[in-house]
Structure formats: C-alpha cells, structure tokens
Amino acid sequence: MGGCCSKYVMFEGLKEVQEVEEYEEEEETCAGDWGARVRLKGSCNLASMFTQQGRKGCNQDAMTIWQSLPAVTEDFNGEPDMIFCGVFDGHGSSGHTVANHIREVLPSKLSLRMRSSEHGDHNTEGDHNIDKSTSKECNCDKVGIVHPPISSWAKSFVKAFEEIDKDLSVDPTIDAYCSGSTAVAILRQAEHLMIANLGDSRAILCTRNKKNKLVPVQLTVDLKPNLPCEAERIRSCNGRVFAMDDEPNVYRLWLPDEDSPGLAMARAFGDFCLKDFGLISTPKLCYRKISSMDEFVVLATDGVWDVLSNKAVVKIVASARKRSMAARLLVEHAVQAWKTKYPNCKNDDCAVVCLFLKCPSSIVNANSVLKDGSVHTDTGFDIINTAQETRATDDLKEEWSALGGVSRVNTVLNVPRFSNCDSRREKSEKKEENLVLNVQVGT
C-alpha cells in the first residue's frame, strides 16, 4: 500500500520510538457473508489494524474487520453503513487456535442471528443485557432504554457468543479444555455503536471535551475475577478467587479443590474446565450514540493496556501521520513501553484495531497549519503539546481496571485431562440445559 519513514516520540516520559522504516503494508482479505469484505490484515479508509507477536511463544492474538466490497453498496450483514470490528486474545496451549476460530465464526454467527431476529418480535428484553453503568457513561438515550434495533443487536450478540462457546465445547478439532480466548467487538451503523466485551481486552473512545481537547472514554470494564459482581458469581459456583504471593495484584480464578488453572479473567470463550465454577461466555454490552465530538474507537488486547494508559493511547493514535499507520504506531509504542517499564518480563502479544468515526472527506487537508501553529495530519487531529493537554473529566476511569500490575500469563497451570472428547460432549450438553434455566445475562 505504501511506505512511511518518520520518527515518533513516546508519551508519558517513556523512551523515544525508533524510526519507522519504509515498508510495504501487508493486506489479507477475503469474501464474507452477504457481500462483505473480511479484512484480517492491512487498513482501509475507516480502520487501521496491526498485531505483533510477543516473547511468550506464537502470536495468540487475532483480529478482523468486516466491511463492504468496492463493487457493492451493502456492508456487514447486508445492511448499508454497518461495520464490524473485533480483537481476540487467546491463552493456554491452544489459545491461538481458539482465538482464530472465534475470529472466523463470530461475524457470521452474529450476522445470521441479526437476520433471524429481523423476522421476530422487537421487545425490550435485550435492554436488560446492556451494561447500565457503562451505557450511562456512554450517553445512552436513557439508561436501560434504547432503540428497538439496538435491543435486537444486544440479543444477537449474547446468543452468538453463547452458541459459539457451545459449539466450541463439542468441536473435536480444538482442545479448549484448558485454553480459551477473550473478545472485544464493536458493531457500528450510522450514529449507533454497540460494544460487546468478554474478558480483559478493552475498547476506548476518543472524543472531544468542552475545550475541544481529545480525551478518552473507556467503553468496557476489564472483567477480572476480583470485580465484586464477578467474584460473587464465581464463589456461588464454588470457584475460588485469590492472588498468588508473588503476584499480589493479579487475581485469578481457581478450581474448588486444587490450585489450577489460575485464569486471570472472569469471562472467556473455552476454558471448559472452569465453566462449572463461575466462568461464563456471556458478554458485557454497552451502547453509545455517536456524536459529532466523537473521533475514533480503539480495540486492543491486554498487551497494550498493561503498559499504556487510555490517555496515552488516544495521544498516540491521534499523532499518527496516516490513518493506515495508527494501529502499527500504537503497537510499537506498547512494545517500547514493555521494554522500559518491565525490562525483565517477556512482553505480551499485541493486537489493535482503530475505527475512525468520520469519513476522510470530512477531514481537513493533510498537514494544514492552523493559526495557532498546531498541525493537522490526515488523521484529522490537532497534534497538541503534552504540557497543554487537559486532564480527562472522568480522570480516565482507570479505576475500572481491577488489575494494578501486569499479568505475566493468563493461566498458571494446566489441568490434567480426565475425560475424552465424548465425555466432554456429554458434560457440555448437560451444562447447556442448566444454562438455559439459570444464566442471567450480564451478571
């Protein structure tokens, strides 16, 4: 697609990122359902995506964007102006397989569910699936009351996530007994934005405050086992939550009678050894009505959030000289931050998707100089002096993250396998019957 050779300065006092060498941007696309283009690598005019392997083994992160093909006028799900983005963070010995599987099947499953719901009723049952506290922060029209199509989106997301987990439990080609994946995904159509979160990946929004400065709004909550509502559910299912002595800030989910596997999240796809003890695959949902002040959304796995704050992420993405370089630039800053903050730790895999909410045609010309001396790039954002940056009105909502330090691994120990695929399938079918009766969405 093109090259870039520029020098970018790291924020928050961290070291300078080295010069980005010229490179030919790699793309990987294929055809999806109902005329959608599935993008696994590369960038487009509205989105940027990039992933880089850490130092723990193979890259277990995955990502995808579903958008329209150039020859058609319909987007994701066959509807105009609709786009789907997601990042997925695998863990365990087969985590990369699980993450890639979720990337492949979630958009299709979601679009199928949305299409089938169009022929059903549009009651407000799905409103109860939406995270009320987060939706309030995200300017939902009224807390718990959203537009009927959004209620349908919510129900479709929940059903798609739980159906995928059910199918994964009986898939003989994927060993997800002690392996799994997080997911954070967004669905955008016109001014409507729905966010679904499962695990500890994160989505943030860049918007402008009353002084026209760029500030972050955290759209998701990091679903760690020690969050009060998560811990209560886990303990009610006889699971245990505690931190190890050498990781006092990393709370993990453990089996009732043995110190394994030590999962550092409360919700995930897979990890069926823990599904009877509090781990669930029901996503937390958040809705936001996009305003003219909103600029872009960043989805990233915890390899980014472990070392960069929401405020730093917004600054880095906004400083990118080209939209196509935004995700790559953020990953490079995260890798540098790992080396600076945790020189004795192996840096985690990083995956980023940046979705820009305004069309390029609505942005001022690249590199135009304003009267106050600030410079506009083709991302459309003022490059603001760090010393002049105002504090975010909500103080970045950093307290939403239950993790004070860095999680070195997502699971500590592997659980011995006592059952084969057939017995696992029988157990899953029995578990499904119980879920139908007992699972309360969003708890």
The model's pLDDT over 289-309, given as tens digits with 9 standing for 90+, comes to 999 999 999 999 999 999 999
User: Regarding beta strands 202-208 and 294-300, do their DSSP bridges make them parallel or antiparallel, or are they unpaired?
Assistant: antiparallel
What is the token pair recorded at 91? 């863990």
Are the C-beta atoms of residues 324 and 226 closer than 8 Å to each other?
A: no
> DSSP per residue over 165-185, as a string?
HHHHHT-TT---SS-EE-EEE
> In which band, very low, low, confident or very high, does the pLDDT at 227 lie, cut at 50, 70 and 90?
very high
* Averaged pLDDT score across all residues of the chain: 75
Nearest to 221 by CA among 248, 195, 194: 195
User: How far apart, in whole angstroms, are the C-alpha atoms of residue 82 and residue 153?
Assistant: 12
Q: How far is CA 69 from CA 1, 66, 83, 148, in A?
A: 17, 9, 12, 28
Buried b / exposed e across 6-28, counting CB within 10 Å, b at 16+? eebebbeebeebeebeeeebeee
Query: What is the phi-psi region of residue 376: left when phi exceeds 0, alpha when psi lies from -120 to 50, beta otherwise?
Result: beta
Q: Which two tokens stand for residue 120?
A: 């059903």
CA quadruple 80, 81, 82, 86: dihedral sign: positive
319 burial type by CB count under 10 A (0-12 exposed, 13-18 middle, 19+ buried): buried
Q: What is the pLDDT of residue 76?
A: 53
CA dihedral defined by 269, 272, 276, 281, rounded to 10 degrees? 10
Residue 242, pLDDT score:
95
Higher pLDDT, residue 332 or 152? 332
pLDDT tier for residue 25 given thresholds of 50, 70 and 90: low
The predicted structure's pLDDT at residue 314: 96
Domain boundaries, the chain: 30-438
Q: pLDDT tens digits, residue range 353-397?
A: 999 998 775 554 433 433 344 444 556 565 433 333 333 333 333
- Which single residue is written with the structure tokens 């989805």? 299
Residues 31-52: tens digit of each pLDDT? 444 445 554 556 667 888 899 8
Please tell me the predicted confidence (pLDDT) of residue 275: 96
Token pair, residue 372, equals: 């106050």
Q: Are 356 and 207 in contact (CB under 8 A)?
A: no
**What pLDDT does 255 receive?**
96
Is the pLDDT score of 172 beyond 70?
Answer: yes
Superfamily of domain 30-438: PPM-type phosphatase domain (3.60.40.10)
